Amino acid sequence: MALQTTRDDTWLATVMAETDRAKEAFGIEIAELARGRAVLTMPVTDRMVNGFGITHGGLVFTLADTAFAYACNEDATVTVASGADITFAKATHAGQTLTATAERRWRSGRNGLYDVTIVDETGETVAEFRGRSFSTNRTAPAAPEGAGGPA
């Protein structure tokens, strides 16, 4: 079940939770959210496997990149990826659930470094991802129509 988040304009990960359509498209849910840390889950469906019957690497990367995005948007500054690397450790298949845990390792000025570990439902490591962030001067997205602001 997805974690309920309350919009906080000083914490853009909570804004993203309202506006992130890619997360919805892939069935990704937020299990935990803290500044500099995020835990997201994604069920692997039949439509997510490649020609060998294993989870497409791009979708494992998508889950890791999404968790990274939530972890690095820990203040009111729109922060994006400036680069990322992934190492695949284990194949997974339809019917499994992947969990990505993203954590800040270092942040200084406009740059940051975040590590994401992706595990399967047994806790075995599926992949390791390292993302490099860059804080921009972009404006955060507006609240979706009908959504209330902070209480």
106 within a domain of the structure (yes/no): yes
33 within a domain of the structure (yes/no): yes
What is the pLDDT of the chain when averaged over all its residues?
92
Domain span at residue 51 reads 12-135
Cross-strand bridge partners of residue 84? 131
- This prediction has a pTM of 0.91
117 within a domain of the structure (yes/no): yes
26 within a domain of the structure (yes/no): yes
Strand intervals (E) in the chain: 29-34, 37-43, 79-88, 97-108, 111-119, 125-135
Q: Band of the pLDDT at 151, cuts 50, 70, 90?
A: very low
Joined together, the tokens standing for residue 61 give: 């990367």
34 within a domain of the structure (yes/no): yes
Output the domain CATH number for residue 32.
3.10.129.10
64 within a domain of the structure (yes/no): yes
Burial 95-123 (b: 16+ CB within 10 A, else e): ebebbbbbbbeebeeeebebbbbbbbeee
**pLDDT tens sequence across 6-45:** 989 899 999 999 989 999 999 999 999 999 999 999 999 9
φ, ψ dihedrals at 91, nearest 5°: -80, 150
**pLDDT tens sequence across 70-93:** 999 999 999 999 999 999 999 999
How far lies 44's CA from each of 54, 63, 94, 121, in Å?
A: 10, 11, 5, 11
When divided into structural domains, the chain yields a total of: 1
Q: Band of the pLDDT at 52, cuts 50, 70, 90?
A: very high
87 within a domain of the structure (yes/no): yes
148 within a domain of the structure (yes/no): no
Residue 146: pLDDT over 70: no
Position 75 scores a pLDDT of 95
